[in-house]
Amino acid sequence: MKIVVLHGQMHRGSTYHLVHQVLDHLTGEGKEKTVQEFFMPRDAPAPCVGCYRCFLNGEETCPHEAKVQPLVHAIREADLIVLDSPCYVGGMTGQLKTVLDHLAYLWMSHRPEQAMFNKVGLVVSTTAGVGAGKVTKALASNLFFWGVPRIYKLPLVVAAMNWAMVKPAMKEKMARKAKRVAKRIDKQLGRAKPGFKTRMMFRIMRLNQKSNEWNPLDKAHWEDKGWLGRIRPW
């Protein structure tokens, strides 16, 4: 079982610990478990400049390709994709958003990876007050548009500024929630298949690609996969 974690922060606070509580409970049904972690901004590319090169000329022409593609490779190889971020002013950290901006070309509206359609996703956020749910919703949206069929959300209000200040009762609550989510993830690993919402979005994007005249690269990707015909990625 391969796991990739994109942390939206460098410090190891409540969000980091909640993620690792989940990871500690994952069994992988006896399979060897490997975890690859990236920390932002250390592992993040420079901010996207909106040059459209990834869309029009290929992701390898991105000016920040050297930083972006190691992340993409890890995501492609993983069975479980974890995106986490503490809530900063009602949203995810800017450092993680910088990464996700670079991965727009992987959306179903452009050139989704076939491997994404059988993966499992987990999105995690903690906050001292409000906004964790908004963060996990935004992170889950990215996974959905990549084609990930099973996505679990874990937002939590911890009422503390750092891990040391989290009360024992809250840490116990976090541990219980982490264990429940891990159990659900274990059941889906290797078995996840797209549901109605993902299939419908794929169908809409397929129709868009059939009439696509603005981006030959995107259309060629769908044609090469056979997705404009009867073949589907699941």
Q: DSSP letters of 161-222?
A: SSGGGS-HHHHHHHHHHHHHHHHHHHHHTTT----HHHHHHHHHHHHHHHT--S-HHHHHHH
How far separated are the first and last CA of the chain, in Å rounded? 19
pLDDT at 124: 98
Token pair 């959300």 in the structure block, residue: 153
Inform me whether the pLDDT recorded for 53 exceeds 70.
yes
In the structure, what pLDDT confidence band is assigned to residue 90 with cuts at 50, 70 and 90? very high
pLDDT > 70? residue 28? no
Three-state DSSP class for residue 224: helix
Helix, strand, coil shares of the chain, percent, nearest 5, are 50, 15, 35
Kindly tell me if the per-residue pLDDT of 31 is higher than 90: no
pLDDT-above-90 percentage for the chain: 97
Is residue 52 predicted with pLDDT exceeding 70?
Answer: yes
pLDDT at position 7, please?
Answer: 98
* pTM, to two decimals: 0.96
Asked if 147 contacts 140 with a C-beta cutoff of 8 angstroms, the reply is no
In the chain, the largest separation of any two C-alpha atoms, in whole Å, equals: 58
H or E element: which one contains 56? helix 53-56
